[in-house]
Amino acid sequence: MPVVWSDRHRLHEPGGEVWVGVRMPAAEVPARADAIRAVLVADGAQLVEAEAHPDERLLAVHDAALLDYLSHAWEEWEAAGLPEDPGQDRVVPYVFAHPELTATPAVPAAVWARPGYFAYDTMTLVGPGTWEAARAAADTALTAAELVLGGAPAAYACCRPPGHHVTRRAYGGSCYLNNAAVAAARLREELGRVAVLDVDAHHGNGTQAIFWEDLDVLTASVHVDPGAGWFPHFLGFAGETGGGMAEGANLNLPLAPGAGDAEWTAAVAELAAWARAGGARAAVVALGVDAAAGDPESPLAVTADGFRAAGRTLGALGLPTVLVQEGGYDLETIGSLVRETLAGVEEGQAGA
Ligand code: SP5
Ligand code: ZN
């Protein structure tokens, strides 16, 4: 299947992540996408350059205020002199717009207070190239969506930074723009009901929130149980099933830490069956491969065979399918895990 790519992902160097107040090396690094690309190219993949798309496509899922903030966050941080005094070379929050701290929410006057109006964690740093790279990632997902709308059975967006933790107005979890949501909104425009099937090891809280009351974008996620202590901690529980008219249009399948191929592939099959029963006309797969055994960011234990089997199940839906890269942090295996998944999707679609 076509692999959509942009070199501009390398402009985002997170420069670390602040966890429990300590700045440590980032997991979400440029080498991730380069490693995936190397494996897919060696396997004979056809690379397609991401094309620029209008802001209107982002505004289908994000508030203008978030886009305006992210596109200027680094410039204003630098202009305020914060890299010199106190010596912080990335945009990072120190205070948060907790609901009980805000009466009439508004972007605060102080440059150093602004990140906490939009960010919900301290791990998602903004540097000089973050906006351009995040924009390129969304364009990569949109280009994959256009390929599928043009008749490709499936297309893969090899993008970073990832996106599934971003809501309409709040970013976090190493994500800045919700690439999968942007692609889903575009497919929905043309094809009707779409399902976003999120197999990243972490709950796709941003995508769930964006489409919470939307009956035409079904959202489903298999992930390590937040109730067992895992990010995003506050969301991803089985009782979250959609809001308002869209009650029943969200499905969460939390798994216990340590779950392996049997539990995980059964859960992916349940996501697929649920999307089919819900009348989806197209699928967006939020393809994190951090559920892999050995991934440093999750306690799930899925093997390469598990990813291939999951790919087959997703392909057997027989729907136009856009796969969007999310997490996956083991540089030694990330490329082959993606290759196995994509091969599985092609096998499933051929047999569907
Ligand atoms: C896209 C994606 O997979 N985002 C997941 C981000 C989850 N990050 C949680 C980080 C929690 C603490 N990591 C520090 C580990 C120190 N050993
Ligand atoms: Zn993840």
Strands (E), 67-193: 154-157
Spatial CB neighbours of 2, under 8 Å, sequence gap ≥ 6: 45, 46, 47, 48, 144, 147, 152, 155, 156
The token pair that represents 188 in the structure block? 């929905």
* Cβ of residue 315 lying under 6 Å from some atom of ligand 1: no
pLDDT given for residue 295 in this prediction:
98
In this structure, are residues 12 and 49 in contact, taking their beta carbons and an 8 Å threshold? no
State residue 9's pLDDT score. 98
Nearest atom in ligand 1 to 164's CA: 1
Strand, coil or helix: what is 9? helix
User: Which one of 12, 62, 164, 165 is the catalytic residue?
Assistant: 165
- What separation in Å is there between the alpha carbon of 231 and the centre of ligand 1? 7
Choose among 327, 340, 336: nearest CA to 35.
Answer: 336
pLDDT tens over the chain, length 352 residues: 999 999 999 999 999 999 999 999 999 999 999 999 999 999 999 999 999 999 999 999 999 999 999 999 999 999 999 999 999 999 999 999 999 999 988 999 999 999 999 999 999 999 999 999 999 999 999 999 999 999 999 999 999 999 999 999 999 999 999 999 999 999 999 999 999 999 999 999 999 999 999 999 999 999 999 999 999 999 999 999 999 999 999 999 999 999 999 999 999 999 999 999 999 999 999 999 999 999 999 999 999 999 999 999 999 999 999 999 999 999 999 999 999 999 999 999 999 7
State the pLDDT at residue 201. Answer: 99
Cis before 153? omega within 30 = no
d(CA 330, CA 301): 13
Phi, psi of 206 (to 5 degrees): -65, -45
Per-residue pLDDT, 105: 84
Closest CA to ligand 1's atom 9: 231
Query: In which element (H, E) is residue 335 found?
Result: helix 334-351
Closest ligand to 176 CA?
1
Ligand 1 atom nearest the C-alpha of 175 is 1
Per-residue exposure over 140-171, b if at least 16 CB sit within 10 Å of its own CB, e if not: bbbbbbbbbbeebbbbbbbbbbbbbbbbbbbb
Q: Strand, coil or helix: what is 313? A: helix
Helix, coil or strand: residue 214: coil
Say whether 165 is catalytic: yes
Q: Left if phi > 0, otherwise alpha if psi is -120 to 50, otherwise beta: which for 20?
A: left
Report the predicted TM-score, pTM, of the whole model to 2 decimal places: 0.98
Identify whether the C-beta of residue 304 lies closer than 8 Å to the C-beta of residue 342.
Answer: no
